Every structure is written in C-alpha cells, then in structure tokens.
Amino acid sequence: MDKVQANRLILLGTKGGASVRKGSPRPSSSALQIDGKTYVIDCGLGVTRALVDADISLSQMDGVFITHLHCDHLLELGPLIYTAWLSGLNRPLNIFGPTGITEYWNSFLAAMSFDHGVRTQNDKRGSLNDLISITTYGEGSVASLGGLTVSALRVEHPPVDECYALKFETPKSKIVFSADTKYFPPLAQFAYGADILIHEAMLDAGIDALVQRIGANPDLRQHLEARHTMAPDVGKIATAASVKHLVLNHLVPADDPEFTDAHWHDALSQTWDGPLSVGKDGMVIDLPNS
C-alpha cells in the first residue's frame, strides 16, 4: 500500500485490561496517520491484525510508541515488528518507550533467535535488529519527527512508576493520549487546547457488574479506582483542558451489553458538554485540517 494521505486517528483496541473473551474488543492500541506517516501507540494483543484490517501496511509504519510496560499495552510489540519484517519492512523503524523497553526488545529477539537465524542465513534477509532503533524516554520531549513533535507527561498509574501521557503536535493539530491513569488534574494543562483527547474511562455501575460477572475478588473495585479514571472525572479533565473532541478509550467495562453508549454519555453529562466519542475497535476519527 502506498503512503497514506489522510490525517486520522484509528482506534485499534479499546478494551481496558488484558483479558479477552468471546466477542470482546481488543486491548489497547491506536494508530495516528499524519502527513503521510503512520505511528502506532501501544501494542496490546491483536494490534497486528487490527492494523491489517484498517488497511495499514505493516511495512510502512514510521514509529511505535509505548506508554508503559503493562502487558495490555506491550504484549504484541515484538510480534508486530517481527511480522512487519516478514511482510517487507526494509527500512529503519523507531520504537519509543519508557525504561525497560530495550530489555523487552532484546529479550524478544533472543526468544526468536532460531527463527531469526533461519530467515537471515537461509532466506538471506537482513537482520531485523539492524532496522530497529530504540529510544527510552521520560517526562518532557520524546521525539521530533519532521513536522511532528511528541512530548510526554508522567501520569499516576500505581504501581507503575513510568507511565506517560503522550502529546502529538503538528502546526495543524494537537492529539493527546492519557495513557492509563487515575484522575490526574495536571493532565488538563498538558492537553490544553487539544483537538482530540483520547482518555481512558471507567463506568461506575459497570465495575460492580464486572466484578459479579467474572467472579473477581471484590477488591478489584478498589484496585481499579486507585489506578484508573471514572468517567465523570474524565469530563472534568476535558473541560479544564478546553479540548475540542473527547474520545473515551481503554473502557471498563468494554464488553458488557448491558452498558451502552448512552450510559457513557449520561455519566459525563454533568462534567462535559462537548463532542464525545465512545471508543470502538476500528473507529476512525479525522484529524482537523486533514
């Protein structure tokens, strides 16, 4: 597939948490296509197939960003890159992630050493590792990629110390991903004036239903509340930040038919009155000035 021209956000996986059930959405992953380039944000299980289904060429990725090292954001990073290599990737690819991302990548390549050896020695492919550049980032500037700048804000997602909201800025647009976080008011300043804020969200009534439905320990509610953001608080962040479009992602619950978009809209009705999209796998949102 030729380089893309449309500027758009594609939600590839919108479910909070790593578990998957029949008919459930995929865990966290998104793609940004800006000025002919494609960037992947987080690599939960299923991201490779989701990109293909979105008609995005794996060999044409221009960068991968990981917000933190929880498995529902990281698990398929290695398989995605490896599959892209087997699908024709033959140019440098940058991977950006917090401390530990290099160890993940090196361990993945070590696990694939037999197959990688066959591909390089027998099939005469160039080494995958020669194509990959790993950048470990912290709070502040992450990357400058042509007309795109990426910056990070450390959010609160205990017990993970390094979890980062990411802001993607061009002269025409500003897109912010909250990553996983408890209610974190400083995020509003970081995201101020964003064209799109993609923020994780939990539905209060849905948590109780989830605990009962999956037979989880009742402490799960306390666990979730300490690490993630309730929907009304997401609205507070979006309002304080004066964002133009709020997109709910990393949804909890994400696969309970008893809870519909109407429940999410109702939960935010007192704190947010702007454009709102409840994330769905495969949802496409055009970026401004595209």
CA 24 from chain centre, in angstroms, equals 17
Do residues 75 and 48 lie in contact, with contact meaning Cβ atoms separated by under 8 Å? no
The pLDDT value recorded for residue 12 is 98
Please write the tens of the pLDDT for every residue from 115-174: 999 999 988 889 999 999 999 999 999 999 989 999 999 999 999 999 999 999 999 999
Please write the tens of the pLDDT for every residue from 267-289: 999 999 999 999 999 999 999 87
Distance, in Å, from the CA atom of 281 to the CA atom of 269, rounded to the nearest integer, reads 23
SS3 for 57-97, per residue? CHHHEEEEECCCCCHHHHCCHHHHHHHHHHCCCCCCEEEEE
Do residues 278 and 248 lie in contact, with contact meaning Cβ atoms separated by under 8 Å? yes
Distance, in Å, from the CA atom of 128 to the CA atom of 219, rounded to the nearest integer, reads 43
Distance, in Å, from the CA atom of 168 to the CA atom of 161, rounded to the nearest integer, reads 22
SS3 for 171-208, per residue? CCCEEEECCCCCCCCHHHHHCCCCCEEEEEEECHHHHH
The pLDDT value recorded for residue 2 is 44
The pLDDT value recorded for residue 7 is 93
May I ask the CATH architecture of the domain 8-286? 4-Layer Sandwich (3.60)
Torsion angle (degrees, nearest 10) of CA 243, 138, 37, 91: -170
Tokens of 130: 């020669």
Structure pTM? 0.95
- Of 256 and 72, the structure prediction assigns the larger pLDDT to 72
Helix pair 261-268, 204-214: axis angle to 10 deg? 140
DSSP structure class, residue 138? -
Phi, psi for 283 (deg, rounded to 5)? -65, 135
Tokens of 62: 């221009």
Distance, in Å, from the CA atom of 175 to the CA atom of 215, rounded to the nearest integer, reads 37
The domain ranges of the chain are 8-286
At residue 96, does pLDDT exceed 50? yes
70: amino acid identity, one letter: H
Q: How confident is the model at residue 218 (pLDDT cuts 50, 70, 90)?
A: low
Distance, in Å, from the CA atom of 48 to the CA atom of 26, rounded to the nearest integer, reads 11
The pLDDT value recorded for residue 1 is 39
- Total residues found in the chain within this entry: 290
Average pLDDT along the chain: 93
Q: How confident is the model at residue 216 (pLDDT cuts 50, 70, 90)?
A: low
Q: For 259-267, what is the mean pLDDT?
A: 95
Nearest to 250 by CA among 184, 181, 196: 181
Tokens of 173: 């647009």
- Of 66 and 290, the structure prediction assigns the larger pLDDT to 66
